[in-house]
Chain A
Protein backbone atom coordinates (compact mmCIF):
# COMPACT_ATOMS: atom_id res chain seq x y z
CA UNK A 1 0.00 0.00 0.00
CA UNK A 2 1.42 3.31 -1.07
CA UNK A 3 0.70 6.38 1.00
CA UNK A 4 1.33 9.58 -0.90
CA UNK A 5 2.43 12.77 0.79
CA UNK A 6 -1.02 14.24 0.24
CA UNK A 7 -2.74 11.35 2.05
CA UNK A 8 -0.25 11.57 4.89
CA UNK A 9 -1.03 15.26 5.34
CA UNK A 10 -4.78 14.54 5.30
CA UNK A 11 -4.36 11.87 7.97
CA UNK A 12 -2.25 14.10 10.17
CA UNK A 13 -4.78 16.92 9.74
CA UNK A 14 -7.56 14.60 10.90
CA UNK A 15 -5.53 13.60 13.98
CA UNK A 16 -4.84 17.27 14.66
CA UNK A 17 -8.53 18.10 14.36
CA UNK A 18 -9.35 15.41 16.89
CA UNK A 19 -6.70 16.70 19.27
CA UNK A 20 -7.94 20.28 18.86
CA UNK A 21 -11.33 19.27 20.24
CA UNK A 22 -9.68 18.46 23.61
CA UNK A 23 -10.21 22.19 24.09
CA UNK A 24 -13.83 21.27 24.77
CA UNK A 25 -12.94 19.95 28.24
CA UNK A 26 -12.26 23.37 29.74
CA UNK A 27 -15.52 25.10 28.80
CA UNK A 28 -17.46 21.97 29.80
CA UNK A 29 -16.04 22.02 33.31
CA UNK A 30 -16.38 25.80 33.55
CA UNK A 31 -20.00 25.83 32.41
CA UNK A 32 -20.82 23.03 34.80
CA UNK A 33 -19.35 24.99 37.70
CA UNK A 34 -21.26 28.12 36.64
CA UNK A 35 -24.53 26.18 36.38
CA UNK A 36 -23.95 24.55 39.77
CA UNK A 37 -23.35 27.86 41.47
CA UNK A 38 -26.39 29.34 39.74
CA UNK A 39 -28.50 26.44 41.03
CA UNK A 40 -27.15 27.08 44.54
CA UNK A 41 -27.94 30.78 44.20
CA UNK A 42 -31.51 30.05 43.10
CA UNK A 43 -31.88 27.66 46.03
CA UNK A 44 -30.76 30.36 48.42
CA UNK A 45 -32.85 33.12 46.86
CA UNK A 46 -35.66 31.77 44.66
CA UNK A 47 -37.01 35.28 44.05
CA UNK A 48 -33.97 36.21 41.93
CA UNK A 49 -34.36 33.25 39.58
CA UNK A 50 -34.68 35.21 36.33
CA UNK A 51 -31.72 37.48 37.11
CA UNK A 52 -29.53 34.54 38.10
CA UNK A 53 -30.51 32.61 34.99
CA UNK A 54 -29.77 35.43 32.56
CA UNK A 55 -26.43 36.21 34.22
CA UNK A 56 -25.51 32.52 34.12
CA UNK A 57 -26.40 32.20 30.44
CA UNK A 58 -24.38 35.32 29.56
CA UNK A 59 -21.35 34.07 31.48
CA UNK A 60 -21.60 30.61 30.00
CA UNK A 61 -21.86 31.94 26.47
CA UNK A 62 -18.70 33.97 27.01
CA UNK A 63 -16.90 31.03 28.64
CA UNK A 64 -17.79 28.86 25.66
CA UNK A 65 -15.50 30.90 23.40
CA UNK A 66 -12.28 28.99 24.10
CA UNK A 67 -13.96 25.70 23.23
CA UNK A 68 -15.25 27.22 20.02
CA UNK A 69 -11.71 28.28 19.09
CA UNK A 70 -10.74 24.63 19.28
CA UNK A 71 -13.72 23.77 17.07
CA UNK A 72 -12.64 26.43 14.55
CA UNK A 73 -9.12 25.03 14.39
CA UNK A 74 -10.55 21.56 13.79
CA UNK A 75 -12.85 22.85 11.03
CA UNK A 76 -9.97 24.71 9.39
CA UNK A 77 -7.81 21.57 9.43
CA UNK A 78 -10.55 19.35 8.01
CA UNK A 79 -12.25 21.53 5.44
CA UNK A 80 -9.97 24.42 4.46
CA UNK A 81 -6.87 22.16 4.37
CA UNK A 82 -4.23 24.84 4.90
CA UNK A 83 -1.23 22.48 4.56
CA UNK A 84 -1.90 20.96 1.14
Chain B
Protein backbone atom coordinates (compact mmCIF):
# COMPACT_ATOMS: atom_id res chain seq x y z
CA UNK B 1 0.00 0.00 0.00
CA UNK B 2 2.69 2.45 1.00
CA UNK B 3 4.97 1.72 -1.91
CA UNK B 4 3.95 4.98 -3.57
CA UNK B 5 5.32 6.95 -0.68
CA UNK B 6 8.79 5.32 -0.57
CA UNK B 7 9.21 6.43 3.03
CA UNK B 8 6.87 5.03 5.61
CA UNK B 9 8.24 7.32 8.31
CA UNK B 10 7.08 10.54 6.64
CA UNK B 11 4.19 11.28 8.88
CA UNK B 12 1.93 14.27 8.57
CA UNK B 13 -1.53 12.80 8.23
CA UNK B 14 -4.27 13.36 10.78
CA UNK B 15 -4.34 10.36 13.09
CA UNK B 16 -7.32 9.07 15.03
CA UNK B 17 -6.63 8.65 18.74
CA UNK B 18 -9.76 6.94 19.92
CA UNK B 19 -13.25 6.40 18.59
CA UNK B 20 -16.65 6.29 20.19
CA UNK B 21 -20.17 5.50 19.04
CA UNK B 22 -22.82 8.20 18.93
CA UNK B 23 -26.25 7.69 17.30
CA UNK B 24 -24.87 4.65 15.52
CA UNK B 25 -22.01 6.61 13.94
CA UNK B 26 -18.34 6.10 14.71
CA UNK B 27 -16.77 9.41 15.68
CA UNK B 28 -13.01 9.82 16.02
CA UNK B 29 -11.06 12.06 18.33
CA UNK B 30 -8.09 13.02 16.16
CA UNK B 31 -4.79 14.85 16.55
CA UNK B 32 -6.57 17.99 15.35
CA UNK B 33 -8.87 17.96 18.38
CA UNK B 34 -5.97 17.50 20.79
CA UNK B 35 -3.86 20.23 19.18
CA UNK B 36 -6.87 22.54 19.04
CA UNK B 37 -7.43 21.94 22.75
CA UNK B 38 -3.79 22.75 23.55
CA UNK B 39 -3.95 25.90 21.40
CA UNK B 40 -7.17 27.03 23.06
CA UNK B 41 -5.69 26.36 26.52
CA UNK B 42 -2.67 28.52 25.65
CA UNK B 43 -5.01 31.17 24.32
CA UNK B 44 -7.21 31.03 27.44
CA UNK B 45 -4.23 31.22 29.81
CA UNK B 46 -2.81 34.18 27.88
CA UNK B 47 -6.21 35.90 27.91
CA UNK B 48 -6.71 35.38 31.65
CA UNK B 49 -3.20 36.67 32.43
CA UNK B 50 -3.75 39.71 30.18
CA UNK B 51 -7.09 40.44 31.82
CA UNK B 52 -5.56 40.12 35.29
CA UNK B 53 -2.68 42.46 34.40
CA UNK B 54 -4.86 45.08 32.72
CA UNK B 55 -7.52 45.12 35.44
CA UNK B 56 -4.95 45.51 38.20
CA UNK B 57 -2.85 48.02 36.26
CA UNK B 58 -1.90 51.19 38.09
CA UNK B 59 -2.34 54.06 35.61
CA UNK B 60 0.35 56.14 37.31
CA UNK B 61 3.02 53.45 37.56
CA UNK B 62 5.47 52.41 34.86
CA UNK B 63 3.90 49.51 32.88
CA UNK B 64 5.65 46.15 33.11
CA UNK B 65 6.87 44.01 30.24
CA UNK B 66 3.78 41.83 29.92
CA UNK B 67 1.45 44.81 30.10
CA UNK B 68 3.44 46.51 27.35
CA UNK B 69 3.15 43.45 25.12
CA UNK B 70 -0.61 43.21 25.67
CA UNK B 71 -1.06 46.90 24.92
CA UNK B 72 1.09 46.55 21.80
CA UNK B 73 -1.04 43.66 20.50
CA UNK B 74 -4.33 45.44 21.20
CA UNK B 75 -3.09 48.67 19.63
CA UNK B 76 -1.85 46.88 16.51
CA UNK B 77 -5.14 45.03 16.03
CA UNK B 78 -7.06 48.23 16.68
CA UNK B 79 -5.09 50.11 14.03
CA UNK B 80 -5.43 47.31 11.50
CA UNK B 81 -9.20 46.95 11.91
CA UNK B 82 -9.92 50.69 12.09
CA UNK B 83 -7.78 51.31 9.03
CA UNK B 84 -9.71 48.73 7.02
CA UNK B 85 -13.30 49.09 8.21
CA UNK B 86 -13.57 52.76 9.13
CA UNK B 87 -16.51 53.76 11.29
CA UNK B 88 -18.08 50.29 11.51
CA UNK B 89 -14.91 48.92 13.12
CA UNK B 90 -16.03 48.83 16.80
CA UNK B 91 -18.73 46.24 16.06
CA UNK B 92 -16.23 43.81 14.53
CA UNK B 93 -13.25 44.53 16.78
CA UNK B 94 -13.96 41.58 19.08
CA UNK B 95 -14.49 38.96 16.41
CA UNK B 96 -11.62 39.95 14.13
CA UNK B 97 -9.15 40.25 17.02
CA UNK B 98 -10.14 36.82 18.33
CA UNK B 99 -9.88 35.36 14.85
CA UNK B 100 -6.43 36.91 14.34
CA UNK B 101 -5.02 35.64 17.63
CA UNK B 102 -6.56 32.19 17.20
CA UNK B 103 -5.25 31.64 13.66
CA UNK B 104 -1.87 33.09 14.59
CA UNK B 105 -1.40 30.79 17.59
CA UNK B 106 -2.70 27.83 15.55
CA UNK B 107 -0.19 28.48 12.76
CA UNK B 108 2.67 28.99 15.20
CA UNK B 109 1.83 25.79 17.07
CA UNK B 110 3.93 23.89 14.50
CA UNK B 111 6.90 25.27 16.40
CA UNK B 112 5.79 23.39 19.51
CA UNK B 113 5.82 20.10 17.62
CA UNK B 114 2.06 20.01 17.30
CA UNK B 115 0.29 19.43 14.01
CA UNK B 116 -1.19 22.89 13.33
CA UNK B 117 -5.00 22.71 13.67
CA UNK B 118 -5.38 25.00 10.65
CA UNK B 119 -3.80 22.26 8.50
CA UNK B 120 -7.15 20.46 8.79
CA UNK B 121 -9.90 21.51 6.42
CA UNK B 122 -12.43 20.84 9.18
CA UNK B 123 -11.05 23.84 11.06
CA UNK B 124 -10.68 26.35 8.25
CA UNK B 125 -13.98 25.65 6.48
CA UNK B 126 -16.06 26.74 9.52
CA UNK B 127 -13.99 29.93 9.71
CA UNK B 128 -14.76 30.58 6.04
CA UNK B 129 -18.43 29.83 6.60
CA UNK B 130 -18.56 32.30 9.51
CA UNK B 131 -17.15 34.94 7.14
CA UNK B 132 -19.75 33.97 4.55
CA UNK B 133 -22.52 34.30 7.16
CA UNK B 134 -21.23 37.72 8.22
CA UNK B 135 -21.17 38.94 4.60
CA UNK B 136 -24.69 37.66 3.96
CA UNK B 137 -26.12 39.05 7.21
CA UNK B 138 -24.56 42.49 6.74
CA UNK B 139 -25.67 42.67 3.10
CA UNK B 140 -29.29 41.97 4.00
CA UNK B 141 -29.15 44.19 7.09
CA UNK B 142 -27.62 47.25 5.40
CA UNK B 143 -29.02 46.99 1.87
CA UNK B 144 -32.32 45.23 2.50
CA UNK B 145 -33.61 42.21 0.61
CA UNK B 146 -34.34 44.37 -2.45
CA UNK B 147 -30.84 45.80 -2.53
CA UNK B 148 -29.40 42.32 -2.06
CA UNK B 149 -31.37 40.97 -5.02
CA UNK B 150 -30.46 44.05 -7.06
CA UNK B 151 -26.79 43.50 -6.29
CA UNK B 152 -27.17 39.89 -7.35
CA UNK B 153 -28.38 40.86 -10.87
CA UNK B 154 -25.70 43.51 -11.08
CA UNK B 155 -25.22 44.63 -14.67
CA UNK B 156 -28.14 42.64 -16.08
CA UNK B 157 -30.34 39.90 -14.59
CA UNK B 158 -28.77 37.39 -16.96
CA UNK B 159 -25.56 37.60 -14.93
CA UNK B 160 -27.22 36.36 -11.72
CA UNK B 161 -25.86 32.77 -11.88
CA UNK B 162 -22.31 34.05 -12.24
CA UNK B 163 -22.78 36.38 -9.26
CA UNK B 164 -24.20 33.50 -7.17
CA UNK B 165 -21.18 31.34 -8.04
CA UNK B 166 -18.89 34.26 -7.15
CA UNK B 167 -20.58 34.60 -3.76
CA UNK B 168 -20.33 30.89 -3.02
CA UNK B 169 -16.66 30.84 -4.05
CA UNK B 170 -15.74 33.32 -1.29
CA UNK B 171 -15.76 30.97 1.75
CA UNK B 172 -14.26 28.11 -0.27
CA UNK B 173 -11.38 30.20 -1.58
CA UNK B 174 -10.43 31.88 1.69
CA UNK B 175 -10.63 28.65 3.68
CA UNK B 176 -8.68 26.69 1.06
CA UNK B 177 -6.00 29.37 0.92
CA UNK B 178 -5.31 29.18 4.65
CA UNK B 179 -5.57 25.38 4.70
CA UNK B 180 -3.30 24.77 1.72
CA UNK B 181 -0.60 27.18 2.90
CA UNK B 182 -0.34 25.68 6.37
CA UNK B 183 -0.64 22.14 5.01
CA UNK B 184 2.21 22.75 2.55
CA UNK B 185 4.39 23.98 5.41
CA UNK B 186 3.49 20.93 7.50
CA UNK B 187 4.24 18.56 4.61
CA UNK B 188 7.58 20.24 3.89
CA UNK B 189 8.67 19.96 7.52
CA UNK B 190 7.50 16.34 7.69
CA UNK B 191 9.49 15.54 4.54
CA UNK B 192 12.60 17.21 5.93
CA UNK B 193 12.37 15.40 9.24
CA UNK B 194 11.29 12.10 7.70
CA UNK B 195 13.60 11.75 4.70
CA UNK B 196 16.64 13.68 5.97
CA UNK B 197 16.39 12.59 9.58
CA UNK B 198 20.11 11.69 9.71
CA UNK B 199 21.31 15.19 8.87
CA UNK B 200 18.39 17.27 10.14
CA UNK B 201 20.30 19.01 12.92
CA UNK B 202 19.79 22.67 13.52
CA UNK B 203 19.26 23.93 10.00
CA UNK B 204 15.54 22.98 9.81
CA UNK B 205 15.15 25.90 12.21
CA UNK B 206 15.46 28.28 9.27
CA UNK B 207 12.77 26.34 7.42
CA UNK B 208 10.58 26.64 10.51
CA UNK B 209 11.23 30.36 10.40
CA UNK B 210 9.82 30.55 6.89
CA UNK B 211 7.09 27.89 6.86
CA UNK B 212 5.71 28.40 10.35
CA UNK B 213 6.42 31.99 11.33
CA UNK B 214 6.52 33.97 8.06
CA UNK B 215 3.95 32.01 6.07
CA UNK B 216 1.69 31.61 9.09
CA UNK B 217 1.75 35.30 9.95
CA UNK B 218 1.14 36.36 6.32
CA UNK B 219 -1.78 33.97 5.93
CA UNK B 220 -3.30 35.11 9.23
CA UNK B 221 -3.10 38.71 8.04
CA UNK B 222 -4.54 37.82 4.65
CA UNK B 223 -7.46 35.88 6.14
CA UNK B 224 -8.42 38.71 8.52
CA UNK B 225 -7.86 41.36 5.84
CA UNK B 226 -10.07 39.56 3.32
CA UNK B 227 -12.80 38.99 5.91
CA UNK B 228 -12.75 42.69 6.81
CA UNK B 229 -12.70 43.79 3.16
CA UNK B 230 -15.66 41.60 2.23
CA UNK B 231 -17.70 42.65 5.26
CA UNK B 232 -16.89 46.35 4.80
CA UNK B 233 -17.86 45.95 1.15
CA UNK B 234 -21.19 44.41 2.17
CA UNK B 235 -21.87 47.30 4.57
CA UNK B 236 -20.89 50.20 2.31
CA UNK B 237 -21.93 48.95 -1.13
CA UNK B 238 -23.74 51.55 -3.17
B219 CB within 8 Å of chain A = yes
Given A64-B181, A65-B177, A78-B4, do A58 and B187 touch, yes or no (CB 8 Å)?
no
Inter-subunit contact B176/A10 (CB<8 Å): no
Inter-subunit contact B222/A71 (CB<8 Å): no
A38 CB within 8 Å of chain B = no
Inter-subunit contact A68/B218 (CB<8 Å): no
Q: Which of A11-33 contact B (CB under 8 A)?
A: 13-14
B3 CB within 8 Å of chain A = yes
| A50 and B151 alpha carbons, distance in the complex (Å) | 35
Residues of B contacting A69 with CB < 8 Å?
176, 180
Chain A residue with Cβ nearest B229: A58
- Count of chain A residues with a beta carbon within 8 Å of a chain B beta carbon: 16
A40 CB within 8 Å of chain B = no
| A30 and B187 alpha carbons, distance in the complex (Å) | 24
A83 CB within 8 Å of chain B = no
A48 CB within 8 Å of chain B = no
Residue of A10, A14, A57, A71 near B218 (CB, 8 A) is A57
Inter-subunit contact B181/A14 (CB<8 Å): no
Inter-subunit contact A71/B180 (CB<8 Å): yes
Residue of B4, B181, B221, B225 near A68 (CB, 8 A) is B181
Residues of B contacting A62 with CB < 8 Å?
177, 222, 226
Inter-subunit contact B173/A65 (CB<8 Å): yes
Inter-subunit contact B222/A58 (CB<8 Å): yes
A39 CB within 8 Å of chain B = no
B183 CB within 8 Å of chain A = yes
Residues of B contacting A34 with CB < 8 Å?
none
- Chain B residues within 8 Å of A, Cβ to Cβ: 3-5, 13, 173, 176-177, 180-181, 183-184, 187, 218-219, 221-222, 225-226
Give 28 A-B contacts (CB < 8 Å), ordered by A residue.
A10-B4, A14-B4, A58-B221, A61-B218, A61-B219, A61-B221, A61-B222, A62-B222, A62-B226, A64-B181, A65-B173, A65-B176, A65-B177, A65-B180, A68-B177, A68-B180, A68-B181, A68-B184, A69-B176, A69-B180, A71-B180, A72-B176, A72-B183, A75-B183, A75-B187, A78-B4, A78-B5, A79-B13
